[in-house]
Structure 1
Amino acid sequence: MEKVLAAAGLGDAVDAGMDVFNVLAHLRRRQRELSGLYATARELTTVRAIDEVLQSIAERAQELVPSADASYIAVREDDGGFTVRASVGLTSPVFKQVHTRPGTGMAAKIAKTGSPLWIRCYAGSDTIVHDPRLDAALAEDQLVSVLGVPLKIRGEVVGILYAANRFERPPSAEESVLLGAFADHAAVALENARLFGELDAARRVAEEDAETIRRAAELHDRLTRLVLEGADVEEVTREISAVFEGGVRVLRPDARELREAVAESQRNGHAVATDGGYVTALGAGGARLGALVLETETPLSAPDLRNLESTAHILSLLVFRQRAIVEAEERVHGRLFSELATGGTLRDHQHLLAQARGFDLGGSFVAVFVRRESGRPADLAWAMSALARSRDGLGGEHGAGAGAFLPGTDAGELARFVHERLKRELGGELIVCAAEPRASVPPDAQLRLAERSAALLHSLGRADAAVSAHALGLYGIIVDPGRSDELATFLHATIGPLSEHDAAHGTALVDTVHTYFREGGNLAGTARALYVHPNTVVKRLARVAALLGDDWQSPDRALELHLALQLRWLADRI
């Protein structure tokens, strides 16, 4: 054929025609590749999610270089290593998410140079630092020849696009250029997706902040409306509990619970996280008013924490206002109670104040006195005053404890009620004594009877009790001022001669006999207790026999004397 063409003089024309055909075919192929490249680039700009962008890049790369057996993308991590995030043609599940350590694999070299890299046989290459995990993944997928092209943003390699074959096959120059151009477009699409993601995240944050501000304003309005409508602390805490979906309670200023967290909140002025929620100190004008406790297992966001702190400010003002009201009421109650407890005469306006507070000065009321050896006296007085107000009575600090006048007639029942209530609130041991109402006995004498009854129990070694003065029985002769003449008559009839002798001669016969009985009639024990010689005790007892008669130690006389001496000793102490 060639000879025929040569004979006809057409050989050169045919060669020229073939050259033109090849050029046109190459141009048509390049046109298709470039059209595909730009179409792919346009498509990538419409994808927003980063994972979708990565997968789309891998798929379009495979379409642009169909001769590759697999295409995959590795993205640079914060530690400097690279992780495969998208792929096409890979069969190994391990390879699809493999992570290369910093400084290993083709990725390290490409990231350092910023240039494409092709390795004919990856497993046998000595130009890279091998990563055993990556080598194992490549071997499992039977990949041999690998081309890597960097994805660069502002000169920094943010990822690598790989095209791999399962046999040794060098990429053509056109494939390399095409893949490199595509990588540039892919990098821009990846950066756009990242920026869009940040913008979308910022938008969501802004929407959340706007919602938080709206909820904060709504919460502030609701709480302010409650306060203006006269709601108490309990109603406001219920509202706070509903908003934050957790348990809410208020700690008293003297509470020991969460003391360190409350102190920290007082120092920094912010809510403090605890094991079970959050604590925010309450305060106004330098006054410490306790703390707001939110019990929740869900951590609060920063805006919600600010809402909680704002809520605490509103609650502080409410607590401060209620405290001022209570203190004003306390002063009125205190003055009324003090006038009654000290025997003062109430003026007309004080009668009106008492009636306005539900206390009937003309009615029957029980006088109650409480003695407490531990704790702050102010706490006892405050608790007693609050208890009295809750029962339309009057109460407050009195003597060595706290007293109250409570409407009623059953002193024993009221003593037990007060004991139970205060013990629950204050803890510790309490002596509560109550004196029943009696005609012709003024309130101050009635309270004095309750107070002396408590002092008597304390002298007898009782630390925790709730009794009425009537229940003291024989001891009533000591504590009841109205029976003081009976006590004096009994003491004079029993130990009068001893008392008169001691007063006239400066002796201590009364104390000696009292100690002698306490020591069980033991001379040596009596002498030790009195710090005297036993002979001195013998002489004193002889003088006692001379004054009282030799039968003073007989059972009946000894019981009478011992009782008189005990009553005298107790009377001296109350």
Structure 2
Amino acid sequence: MAHTPETPPAADRSREELLRVLLDTATDITALRDVDAVLQTIVRRTRAIVGTDMAYFALTDVEAGVTAIRYTDGVATQAYRTLRQPLGTGVLGEVARGLAPFQSSDYLADAALVHVPEIDEIVRAEGVHAIMGVPLTVAGRVMGALVVAERRPRVFAPQEVSLVDSLGTIAAVALDNSMRFEAANRLAEDLVRQQQRSASELALITQVLELDDRLMDAVMVTPDVGRVLGIGQGVLACDLWLRDPDGGVLSATTTDPAPDDAPGSVAVTAAGERLGVLAAGRALDAPAQALLERVAVHVALALLFARAEEDADLRLQSEVLDDLLERTDVPRERLERRLQRWGLQPGEPLWSVVIEAPDTDRRRRLQVVRALGTRSVMMAAHHDHLCLVTADPDWERRLRPVFTAHGWRLRAGLGGPTSDVRRLGDAHRRAELALGSLATLGRDGVLDGAELGLLGALLDLAHRGDLPQSLTSAIDPLREYDRTRDADLTRTAYVYLETDGNVARVAELLHLHRNTVRQRLERIGALLGPGWDVSPRRLETHLALRVLEAEGRS
């Protein structure tokens, strides 16, 4: 049976008793604020009051066109507990449309209903026969349905339908109140979270502004990256490392090595240029990350200010180098006075060093060499290389490990020493010639221009315009041939003599096949005549080629 002696069916109970039950139910449900608790109480109380095998509550999704059972009491199968019924089908689908109560005394045998085969199988498995439900509406809005069912055929009396309908009305109002209460709670919680977030954001903004003031003072007083990092360290309570674009450490707040995978980091950029990466020694939450980003902005400013000062200093050094190397009318006293700015004292021995530096990383190499802090040195980019004027005899020992650490090959020419600043131009030309010789032969290292011997003296004559034209006339046929035929016999002859007639080495340096080199040598011999590459003509030809190569006229 669907009911017990302690709970008589609704049809057997007096009107006064039913009204009292409804009032008690309304009082109990209205006191609840949790939606789940409201729905579960409604289902349980409805089954007990009506005295049926089961009761359940379904919520309607009008836009999706379905109603889904959400809360049940007395239902045995999981499939029935989670049943989804299209609107307009079955008893539940009819009721959930919100039009009126609806019932069927024997669901599976009721041909007046629109059946869904899959749902019929679920109903059959649950053993349901009689179903009766009422819609739940508030202010014309369909919310769902309250349904009771029996595992035997049965016709529900009008009094029972009215009772369930009254329970449904109470349930709809209680559900609407609970949903409104939950919505109000969510709104209140959102407002509290928003207020807390606003307070946190205000605190962060205040902290950022205070940090900006301190950082700006540090940058404007002196563009010192280390000082900026020190301020950031104090605010973030962790060490900071500034890496350059190559991964090397430019500055840090500690002598400890930078972690390979920093927990927090931010790129340091300016005008689209990546200047480096600022890494923190601990994981950062969102506010701390925002502070790190502000530190990174001021690090970029400090780097740009330092670069501007560096550029101004380099321009000045470049001007002084031009006076030293290319002008003969500048008084010695003025040159010595200008060199004192970089610690180069009058009368001390000076060397001119010419360092190979490709266009792609010339500035970077210049920065790295300047960062060594080598005493008594002036340097700048000069033509296609870096030029150093230094009084430090240990410059190579200081420079070589730095180049090695960066994966750069050290290729340099050396001229000097000289204690007369007016002779630095001559020392520089010998250094350039030495570098050119290393480049031609594909060799690394440092070559002293003094090792060039007679060639150095000839270049001095050429620079002063006193070199006899007859000294280079011997190779005029090669130069004319190259000019008219866009060939390269002159350079081939130069490299051939520089490598002591090593055809394989010539082919390697000029990126030619050995047979091509031999063919060129045959053409050179035809133009210059037999014996051009053996003594005594070999020396004459070699010197002429070296002079032209050094002057860039080959």
TM-score grouping bracket, smaller chain normalisation: 0.5 to 0.7
Q: Which residue of 2 is the match for residue 81 of structure 1?
A: 66
Alpha-carbon distance between aligned partners in 2 of 1:364 and 1:209, rounded to the nearest angstrom: 73
Any conservation in 1 of the 2:102–2:134 contact (CA below 8 Å)? yes
Q: Which residue of 1 is the match for residue 367 of structure 2?
A: 385
Alpha-carbon distance between aligned partners in 1 of 2:54 and 2:20, rounded to the nearest angstrom: 22
Any conservation in 2 of the 1:146–1:164 contact (CA below 8 Å)? yes
Alpha carbons of structure 1 residues 320 and 133: separation in structure 2 relative to 1, 3 Å: farther
Alpha-carbon distance between aligned partners in 1 of 2:47 and 2:407, rounded to the nearest angstrom: 82
Q: Which residue of 1 is the match for residue 161 of structure 2?
A: 176
Q: Which residue of 2 is the match for residue 69 of structure 1?
A: 53
Residue 378 of structure 2 is aligned to residue 400 of structure 1: no
Q: Which residue of 2 is the match for residue 433 of structure 1?
A: 412
Alpha-carbon distance between aligned partners in 1 of 2:163 and 2:278, rounded to the nearest angstrom: 62
- The structural deviation recorded for 1:291 is 9.1
- The structural deviation recorded for 1:158 is 1.8
Q: Which residue of 2 is the match for residue 468 of structure 1?
A: 446
1:87 partner letter: T
Q: Which residue of 1 is the match for residue 95 of structure 2?
A: 110
Q: Which residue of 1 is the match for residue 182 of structure 2?
A: 197
Q: Which residue of 1 is the match for residue 471 of structure 2?
A: 499
Q: Which residue of 2 is the match for residue 45 of structure 1?
A: 30
Alpha carbons of structure 1 residues 171 and 350: separation in structure 2 relative to 1, 3 Å: farther
Alpha carbons of structure 1 residues 162 and 402: separation in structure 2 relative to 1, 3 Å: farther
Alpha-carbon distance between aligned partners in 1 of 2:388 and 2:204, rounded to the nearest angstrom: 42
- The structural deviation recorded for 1:397 is 3.1
Q: Which residue of 1 is the match for residue 304 of structure 2?
A: 323
1:397 partner letter: A
SS of 1:469's partner is: strand
Q: Which residue of 1 is the match for residue 403 of structure 2?
A: 419
- The structural deviation recorded for 1:193 is 2.6
Q: Which residue of 2 is the match for residue 90 of structure 1?
A: 75
2:312 partner letter: R
Residue 132 of structure 2 is aligned to residue 147 of structure 1: yes
SS of 2:311's partner is: helix
- The structural deviation recorded for 1:169 is 1.6
Alpha carbons of structure 1 residues 390 and 412: separation in structure 2 relative to 1, 3 Å: closer
- The structural deviation recorded for 1:238 is 7.3
Alpha carbons of structure 1 residues 26 and 567: separation in structure 2 relative to 1, 3 Å: closer
2:381 partner letter: E
Moved more, 400-409 or 35-44: 400-409
Alpha-carbon distance between aligned partners in 1 of 2:104 and 2:276, rounded to the nearest angstrom: 67
Q: Which residue of 2 is the match for residue 547 of structure 1?
A: none
Identity %: 18
Equivalent residue runs for 1:507-526 within 5 Å: 508=477, 518=496, 525=520
Q: Which residue of 1 is the match for residue 394 of structure 2?
A: 410
- The structural deviation recorded for 1:69 is 0.6
- Cα deviations by residue, 1:152-185 (Å, 9 ceiling, x for unpaired): 1321212111111111122222221121122122
Alpha carbons of structure 1 residues 156 and 525: separation in structure 2 relative to 1, 3 Å: same
Alpha-carbon distance between aligned partners in 2 of 1:290 and 1:210, rounded to the nearest angstrom: 38
Any conservation in 2 of the 1:150–1:183 contact (CA below 8 Å)? yes
Q: Which residue of 1 is the match for residue 344 of structure 2?
A: 361
Alpha-carbon distance between aligned partners in 2 of 1:292 and 1:216, rounded to the nearest angstrom: 28
- The structural deviation recorded for 1:115 is 1.3
SS of 2:14's partner is: helix
Alpha-carbon distance between aligned partners in 1 of 2:91 and 2:533, rounded to the nearest angstrom: 117
Q: Which residue of 1 is the match for residue 41 of structure 2?
A: 56
Residue 550 of structure 2 is aligned to residue 571 of structure 1: yes
1:570 partner letter: E
Any conservation in 1 of the 2:471–2:540 contact (CA below 8 Å)? no
Alpha carbons of structure 1 residues 423 and 525: separation in structure 2 relative to 1, 3 Å: closer
Any conservation in 2 of the 1:416–1:466 contact (CA below 8 Å)? no
Alpha-carbon distance between aligned partners in 2 of 1:559 and 1:207, rounded to the nearest angstrom: 95
Any conservation in 1 of the 2:60–2:143 contact (CA below 8 Å)? yes
- The structural deviation recorded for 1:71 is 1.0
Residue 523 of structure 2 is aligned to residue 541 of structure 1: no
1:568 partner letter: V
Alpha-carbon distance between aligned partners in 2 of 1:241 and 1:340, rounded to the nearest angstrom: 46
Any conservation in 1 of the 2:354–2:428 contact (CA below 8 Å)? yes
Alpha-carbon distance between aligned partners in 2 of 1:406 and 1:187, rounded to the nearest angstrom: 94
Alpha-carbon distance between aligned partners in 1 of 2:237 and 2:91, rounded to the nearest angstrom: 58
Q: Which runs of 5 or more structure 1 residues have no equivalent in the other structure?
A: 1-24, 256-275, 425-429, 543-551
- When the two structures are aligned, how many residues end up with a matched partner? 471
- The structural deviation recorded for 1:107 is 3.7
Q: Which residue of 2 is the match for residue 273 of structure 1?
A: none
Any conservation in 1 of the 2:136–2:169 contact (CA below 8 Å)? yes
- Cα deviations by residue, 1:464-507 (Å, 9 ceiling, x for unpaired): x752233x7855765x6x7846999xxx9xxx99637659xxx6
2:311 partner letter: E
1:327 partner letter: A
Alpha-carbon distance between aligned partners in 1 of 2:469 and 2:431, rounded to the nearest angstrom: 32
Any conservation in 2 of the 1:280–1:293 contact (CA below 8 Å)? yes
1:70 partner letter: M
Alpha-carbon distance between aligned partners in 1 of 2:474 and 2:74, rounded to the nearest angstrom: 120
Q: Which residue of 1 is the match for residue 197 of structure 2?
A: 212
Moved more, 403-412 or 234-243: 234-243
- The structural deviation recorded for 1:146 is 0.9
Any conservation in 1 of the 2:59–2:143 contact (CA below 8 Å)? yes
Any conservation in 2 of the 1:333–1:394 contact (CA below 8 Å)? no
Equivalent residue runs for 1:441-456 within 5 Å: 442=421, 445=425, 450-456=431-437
Alpha-carbon distance between aligned partners in 1 of 2:337 and 2:18, rounded to the nearest angstrom: 108
**How does the TM-score come out when normalised to structure 2?**
0.66
- The structural deviation recorded for 1:48 is 3.2
- The structural deviation recorded for 1:437 is 6.9
Q: Which residue of 2 is the match for residue 186 of structure 1?
A: 171
Alpha-carbon distance between aligned partners in 2 of 1:82 and 1:477, rounded to the nearest angstrom: 104
1:567 partner letter: R
Q: Which runs of 5 or more structure 2 residues have no equivalent in the other structure?
A: 1-9, 220-224, 248-262, 325-329, 482-488, 504-516
Residue 7 of structure 2 is aligned to residue 36 of structure 1: no
SS of 2:146's partner is: strand
Alpha-carbon distance between aligned partners in 2 of 1:49 and 1:338, rounded to the nearest angstrom: 83
- The structural deviation recorded for 1:329 is 4.3
Equivalent residue runs for 1:278-357 within 5 Å: 287-288=271-272, 290=274, 312=293, 315-316=296-297, 319-320=300-301, 322-336=303-317, 338-340=319-321, 342-343=323-324, 345=334, 351=340, 354=341
